[in-house]
Chains A and B, each alone.
Chain A
Amino acid sequence: MNRDQQGAKASYVLLTLVFLLWCFGPSVVRRFTREAFTEFQAPALELAGKGRDLVRYWELRSRSSEELAEAGRDLGRINAGLELKLLEMKNLAEENARLRTLLSYGPDPEYRTVVARVVARDSAGWWQRITIRKGRTDGVRPFSPVVFGTRVVGRVAQVHLTTSEVDLITSPGFRCTAHLEGDEQRRVVLLSGTATGSRGTALVTNVPTDYSPPAGPVGDEAKVLTTGIGGVFPAGLLLGYISGHPRTTPKGDFKEADIAPARDLHSLQEVAVLVPVYPTPGEQLTESRVDDFR
């Protein structure tokens, strides 16, 4: 065996040892490496996102003043309608607070909204993710809900310094409890992302066998709404629509159905992260466990 072959053999052995150390060594090393390589790439991704915004800005600048005036008029009308609704909401909120005080109910979970631009979308058979341009410095926390209007987009999976990764509702690993429209008893079903299809789909399971979607015109499918259980998602947000008819599971004890997301998740330009004002039950649990270790 010449020196070159010996060197090759030694380098394979060394790399195998490093790999074993990497696998069985402290997880802080792996976390640090991941974080370091994410932060290394973050400025370039931000720059790409800002470049895209600039292109959009110049595209909008090229619109004629007539078009802008028309859009302004439309917005004015929408604003007038919304002002009335705001007043209505204020009265309802006051009534709700009064009733909560009377019944000694705890306060509803409160959220702070962080609006974020989408800088990158990454979709494979095994994951559907977007990267947003807001991170730890903006107060984003892991597992915070991500919405577009009243529609759920996903949940924050990882938070970095200036960016965050969001798991879309169609991503395998996304799970959430839900209510189905048309179910008078408001029974809880489970929504989870599935690993199939190009655009990703979600599956709703544990649907009671006696449930059938409300009859309506074609294209007006039953809504799937968040329950608010667990304190992660506020109640009543739209997760998607039941696509097709629920089918009975092989065991026959429940039904399941495919879900079409409420929005084309890969065309989103901007989303809102709902950051809980107070620690969520999950965060409290983690903190107490950390305290136990101390």
Chain B
Amino acid sequence: MNWSWFLILLATYPWLLASDLISDAMADTGLVCFLSGAAIVAPARRFGRGQAALFALCVGFMFEARRPLADGWIAFPLAFAALAICGPQGLLRRPAAVWFAAIGLNVAATAVWLIIGGAGVLSLGTPVDYPSAIWRGAVQTLVAAGAAAIFAPFMLRAQESLMDRLGVPEAREA
């Protein structure tokens, strides 16, 4: 196994850091700028299954590391999603399809961490205001979709160009 997945991870990290810094600026609103879901799409469609899963695991662990979420519960769903993307590569050959996949996956991953976070809070026996939590969850999901829609084209282009330089083969025909 070569190390191109690790180099792409290092190149993707500034985007994840930027999303953390945007979350910092938005802390007043109680919303998180989440990009980890969108970050795995481009590498997953070009890497082999092993590298794609490793890359997605690392992206997931990076999000979990500083947050009170159960270990692995974002990383492994992202890894399964990366494996799923490795399959129907024909669907992800058009740039528009990749963009839509990035938004869709970002929204799905957001839903996962919202559910995992909620389960963690409930296990602590903390009082939860359900209508407010559902409303906030919906807004957070919309924010995740918006963040992916805005940043994904630039992030995907940066990842694609680095993969071209590293000689990672183009996505195969389905």
Contact = CB atoms under 8 A, between A and B. Distances in A.
A127 B121 CA distance: 9
Interface string B47-65: 0011001000010011011
B4 interface: no
A266 B27 contact: yes
B80 A12 contact: yes
Contacts of A200: 30
Contact of B133 (A11, A19, A33, A196): A196
Contacts of B50: 11
A8 B86 contact: yes
A19 B77 CA distance: 10
A172 B62 contact: no
A199 interface: yes
A75 interface: no
Contact of A41 (B31, B66, B71): B66
B142 interface: no
Q: Give the interface SS of chain A, mostly helix, strand, loop or mixed.
A: mixed
B155 to A, nearest CB: 17
Contacts of A45: 17, 20
A34 interface: yes
A167 B120 CA distance: 14
A48 B18 CA distance: 10
Contacts of B80: 12, 15
Interface stretch (B37-45, B99-107, B122-130, B156-164): B122-130
B17 A44 contact: yes
B27 A195 contact: no
A125 B136 contact: yes
B72 interface: yes
B151 interface: no
Contacts of A121: 23-24, 27
Given A122-B27, A127-B67, A203 B83 contact: no
Contacts of A15: 53, 76, 79-80, 83
A195 B83 contact: no
A26 interface: no
Contacts of B129: 194-197
Interface in A235-252: none
Given A122-B20, A173-B121, A192-B126, 16 more contacts: A8-B87, A40-B62, A41-B13, A41-B17, A41-B62, A48-B21, A121-B27, A122-B23, A123-B30, A125-B136, A126-B118, A195-B127, A196-B132, A196-B136, A197-B129, A267-B28
Interface of A: 7-8, 11-12, 15, 19, 22-23, 30, 33-34, 37-38, 40-41, 44-45, 48, 120-129, 131, 157, 165, 167, 172-173, 192-200, 203, 266-267
User: What 7 A-B pairs are tightest by C-beta distance, nearest first?
Assistant: A126-B117, A196-B129, A121-B27, A198-B30, A37-B65, A172-B126, A125-B136
Interface of B: 13, 17, 20-21, 23-24, 26-32, 49-50, 53, 58, 61-62, 64-68, 71-72, 76, 79-80, 83, 86-87, 114, 117-118, 120-121, 124, 126-129, 132-133, 136-137, 140
8 contacts: A12-B80, A22-B76, A37-B62, A120-B20, A122-B32, A172-B121, A195-B129, A196-B128
